[in-house]
Chains A and B, each alone.
Chain A
Amino acid sequence: MIARWLSASLFFLALLAAWHFAVAAKFWSPLLLPSPESVFDYLRSAVEDGTLWEATLVTLRRLLIGYSIGILVGLPLGLLTASSRWSQDTIGVLALGLQTLPSVCWVPLALLWFGQTESAMLFVVVMGTLWSLILATDNGVRTIPPIYTRAARSMGSTGLHTWTHVVLPASLPFLLSGMKQGWAFAWRSLMAAEIFVTILTGFGLGHLLHYGRELNAMDQVIGVMLVIVVIGLAVDKTLFAPMERFLHRRWGTGRQ
C-alpha cells in the first residue's frame, strides 16, 4: 500500500520536475508554457479571492442537476426500450442515433431554444447523459441470463417486484459502466457549453478557461485544466470506484 503510494507520488513528482525543467530550458516561450510555479501562484490567488471556489461550485451544481435528470429519465426509458418492441423501435433507435452525436453539437440548439440561461446549460448536460444511459440500461437488461427472472417468477415475484429486485440488480454491472460513461459525457458537454456560452447566472470553470484564453493567461488556462482533471479523478475515486469494488466482490469478477 505504502509502496503503491510512494511510486505513484514519485511518478507525479517526476512529471512536475520534467515540466519545470522544460520551462527552465526555454524550449517554448513562457507565454505558451508557463512554469508549474506560476500555475500554482494563479491557483493560490484564485482560491484566495474565491473565484475558483465559486466557479467550481457553479459547474458542479449544473453537472449534478443535469446528470441526475439524465439518470432519472434515462434509467426508466432504458428499462422501457428493453421490455417493449415498440419502444425499442422508437425510443431505442432515437437513443442509438443521438448517442453518436457529439454533445457539443447540442450547444447551438440549446442557445436557440433557451437563450443564454441555466436551462441551456442543463439541456446540454442532460442530452450528453441521457442517450448513453438509455443504451447502457437497455443493454444491461437484455444481457441478464433468463434463468434469474424465471427463478424469481417461480418464487412468486411478478411485475414491479421482478423489475426492482431482479432485473435492476442483475444489470447493475452494466448500469454502473453506463453511469460512468454518462458522467464522462456530461462533464465534456458541460465544459463545451461553458466555453462557448457566456451566461450571466453563473460563472463556471469553463468560463474561467475561456477568459484565460481571451486574456492570454496561460497560467490560468492550465490551472483550470488541472482543477477539471482533479475533480474528474476525485469523482471517480470517491463515487464510482467503491461501487465497482463492491460489484467485483459480489459477482467475483475483475482481477483479484
Chain B
Amino acid sequence: MAESNHATADTGSSKLVLEHISKSFKTSSLNVQALDDVTLRIAEGEFVCLVGPSGCGKSTLLNIVAGLDRPDRGLVEADGQTITAPGPHRLMMFQEAALFPWLTVLGNVLFGLKLSNGLTAAERQEKAEYFLELVGLKRFMHSNVHELSGGMKQRVALARALAPNPSVLLMDEPFGALDALTREQLYGDIQRIWSQHRKTIVFVTHNVREAVCLGDRVILFSPNPGRIREEFAIPLPRPRDINSVDLARYATEITRVLKGYVQTEVAG
C-alpha cells in the first residue's frame, strides 16, 4: 500500500506507468525473455508509438497493459491503480482481427458497447452506426464477418475498439493489412479522434513513418531480450501529413538508428 502511494506521488499525471517490467515465456523447446526491465511512463492524452523488430515483445507489453497477462516482475499502473485485470477504460485492438464470427459486423461493434453501461439500446445502435460510418463500412453493417476482406475486418475491429469510448487505446499494428490510401485516411481519422476525445494511445507498428506521423513519442525496442533501446520525441505540429518532408527527416533518422542496432546485433 505504502509502496503504491509512493509510486503514484512520484509519477504525477502519468496515465500509464510501467516500472521494471519483465516477462519471459517458457515453452518445451525454448525460454524466451520477451521483456527485460522495461520502464515507461505515458502521460494522459499522449500518443506513444512502439517500434521494433519482430519478436521484441511489443505485443507482450500491450497485453500486460491491457491486463490480459501479468508480468513476472515489475509494476503496471493505470491512473495510479495497479492493473490486475482488463478494464473497460483500456481497450485493445489485436494484431490479428479478433472479430467474432458468430456476430454480424454490427453485432461485433455492439458487443463492447453493451458491456459499457449507461446507454440505451437506441444510443448503442446510433454509436455503432456512427463508428462504422467513420471507418467507411456502414453499408456492410449487416454482413457476416467472413464476407469482409482482411483490411475491412481491421476497420471493423477499429470501430469496435473506438465505440465504447475508452480513455486508453492499445493498438497492435492495426493498419498492417490496409492499403496505403485507406491507411492515410485513417491516420487523419485517428488523429482527429485522439485530439477531440483526449485519448491516451499506445500504438505498435513496424512502419517508422507511420510512427512518426502519429506519435508524440516513438519508442524503439530491441529483441532478445526485449528492451527499450531509445526514445524520440516528435515535436511536429498536427495534424501531420505522412508525406511531409519534416516527417521524413525524423523517419530517416529513426530508421538509421534502428538499422544500426539491428546490424550490430547480427554482427555481434
Q: Which of A41-49, A103-111, A146-154 contacts B (4 or more CB under 8 A)?
A: A146-154
Q: Are A250 and B88 in contact (CB under 8 A)?
A: no
Contacting pair A151 B94 (CB below 8 A): yes
Cβ B91 vs Cβ A251 within 8 A:
no
Q: Which chain B residues in 142-177 approach chain A with CB under 8 Å?
A: 144-147, 160, 164
Which residues of A have CB within 8 Å of B24?
none
CB pair A251–B116 under 8 Å, yes or no, is: no
Assess whether B102 is in contact with A250, with CB atoms less than 8 Å apart. yes
Is the pair B88, A156 in contact by a Cβ cutoff of 8 Å? yes
Number of A-B contacts (CB under 8 A): 66
Q: Mark B62-82, 1 if CB is under 8 A from A, else 0.
A: 010011100000000000000
The interface-forming segment of A10-18, A79-87, A164-172, A207-215 is A164-172
Among the listed B85, B87, B100, B144, which residue makes an inter-chain contact with A169, where contact means beta carbons less than 8 Å apart?
B100
Residues of chain A lying within 8 A (CB to CB) of residue B245: none
For window 48-66 of B, CB contacts with A under 8 Å fall at: 63, 66
Q: How many residues of chain A have a CB within 8 Å of chain B?
A: 21
* CA–CA, A156 and B89, complex, Å: 9
Do B66 and A154 touch (CB < 8 A)? yes
Neighbouring B residues of A169 by C-beta, 8 Å: 100, 102-103
A156 to B166, CA, bound (A): 11
Would A154 and B92 count as touching, CB distance under 8 A?
yes
Instruction: Flag whether A157 is at the interface (Cβ < 8 A).
Output: yes
Among B98, B102, B144, B160: residue with most chain A CB under 10 A: B102
Tell me, in angstroms, the Cα distance from A155 to B87 when the chains sit together: 7
Q: Does B101 reach chain A (CB closer than 8 Å)?
A: yes
Whether B112 lies near A166 (C-beta < 8 A) is no
In the complex the two chains form, what is the Cα distance from A147 to B63 in whole Å? 12
Which of B91, B100, B102, B147 contacts A154, CB < 8 Å? Answer: B91
User: In angstroms, how far is the closest chain B Cβ from the Cβ of A170?
Assistant: 6
Measured between C-beta atoms, what is the minimum distance from A167 to chain B in Å?
11
Chain A residue, CB-CB nearest to B62: A154
With A155-B164, A156-B116 in contact, is A251–B102 under 8 Å at CB? yes
The reply to whether the CB of A249 lies closer than 8 angstroms to some CB of chain B is: yes
Shortest CB–CB separation between residue A205 and chain B, in angstroms?
Answer: 37
Check if B100 sits within 8 Å of A147, measured CB to CB.
no
B96 touching A147 by the CB < 8 A rule?
yes
- Evaluate contact between B102 and A170: CB separation under 8 angstroms: yes
Residues of the A chain whose Cβ atoms lie less than 8 Å from the Cβ of B88: 155-156
| Distance, CA A155 to CA B108, complexed state (A) | 11
A137-164 vs B, Cβ < 8 Å mask (1 yes, 0 no): 0000000000110111111111001000
Q: What 6 additional pairs, Cβ within 8 angstroms, besides A153-B68, A249-B144? A: A147-B96, A154-B91, A155-B88, A250-B144, A252-B145, A252-B146
* Chain B positions near chain A (C-beta within 8 angstroms): 63, 66-68, 85-88, 90-92, 94, 96, 98, 100-103, 111-112, 115-116, 144-147, 160, 164
Residues of A within 8 A of B (CB): 147-148, 150-158, 161, 165-166, 169-170, 172, 249-252
13 contacts between A and B (CB under 8 A): A150-B68, A150-B92, A151-B98, A154-B66, A155-B111, A156-B112, A156-B116, A157-B115, A169-B102, A249-B144, A250-B101, A251-B101, A251-B146
